[in-house]
Amino acid sequence: MYKRTMPISTNRALRAYIIGLAIGDGNLSNPNGRATRLRITCDLAYPELIRIISESLASLFPGNKVSLIRSKGKYLNVSVYSNHLEALLGWRAKGGSKYRQNVAVPTWVANRKNYITACLRGLLETDGAVYHDRGYQMVTFSTIIPGLASQVHAMFCRLGFQPRLYTTQNRPPRAPFTYQVRLAKDVGRFLQIVRPVKE
């Protein structure tokens, strides 16, 4: 079967950002058998983030249409089709859940600081949180994938920060553990570098 492949941007920081978003709240499928579809689920409470994600996908795939599809409740999916997606992300539409595929940050992203910054922005905008605890600002990233948790912890460290890694046991049928990378020191400086959007 013929598969048409449209261009993809060569901007590697942009690619790293999209990889972070997809690992966090992204889902791959191939409903028509011709092109892989990426859906990034967004909370309607963050219209600015939705705009940024939409524009970033349009910049990464300049020949492809980006769609906003309202989901149930307070969510929508930012969606794009591309045959570049599986190679870019390193996981497959028909390979099962991200947990089953042991999804990870590509080595070329995890080894360079400006790509780490872009990827962490995407990860935190989807599976992260910035909040105050007893008057102190905190940053956390949560995942059920142990290797990914270790990678993200190392990425924080590569930027010069000292996060902690916590493990919480889950009840079936969930994955056995949830892992949380938490930063409690120098959070203001970290946010100035990574600049996650949650508004």
> Exposed, middle or buried by CB within 10 Å (0-12, 13-18, 19+), for 90?
middle
Please give the average per-residue pLDDT across 130-150, as a whole number.
Answer: 95
pLDDT at position 73: 86
Give the 3-state DSSP-derived string for the chain, with helices as H, strands as E and coil as C. CCCCCCCCCCCHHHHHHHHHHHHHHEEEECCCCCCCEEEEEEECCCHHHHHHHHHHHHHHCCCCCEEEEECCCCEEEEEEECCCHHHHHCCCCCCCCCCCCCCCCCHHHHCCHHHHHHHHHHHHHHHEEEEEECCEEEEEEEECCHHHHHHHHHHHHHCCCCCEEEEEECCCCCCCEEEEEEECCCHHHHHHHHCCCCC
Asked if the model's pLDDT at residue 3 lies above 60, the reply is no
d(CA 72, CA 76): 8
Top CATH class of 12-104 equals: alpha beta
Which pLDDT does position 2 carry in this prediction?
39
Q: What is the mean pLDDT of residues 108-133?
A: 96
Q: How far apart are CA 168 and CA 178, in angstroms?
A: 5
**Residue-wise pLDDT tens digits, 155-197:** 999 999 999 999 999 988 889 999 999 999 999 999 999 999 9
Boundaries of every domain in the chain: 12-104, 108-194
Predicted confidence (pLDDT) at residue 9 exceeds the cutoff of 50: yes
- The pLDDT of 81-91, averaged and rounded, is 96
Mean pLDDT confidence for 93-103:
95
Assign 4 a pLDDT band (cuts: 50, 70, 90).
Answer: low
Task: Assess whether pLDDT exceeds 70 at residue 70.
Answer: yes
> What is the pTM for the complete model shown?
0.94
Q: How many CB atoms lie within 10 A of CB 165?
A: 16
Beta bridge partners of 94: none
Distances (CA, A) of 56 to 15, 40, 52, 122: 9, 12, 6, 11
Q: What is the pLDDT of residue 75?
A: 94
Q: What is the pLDDT of residue 49?
A: 96
**pLDDT score, position 1:** 39
Mean pLDDT confidence for 53-77: 94
Q: Quick one: pLDDT band at residue 52, thresholds 50, 70, 90? A: very high
Q: What is the pLDDT of residue 198?
A: 67
> What does CATH list as the number for 108-194?
3.10.28.10
- pLDDT band for position 34 (cuts 50, 70, 90): confident
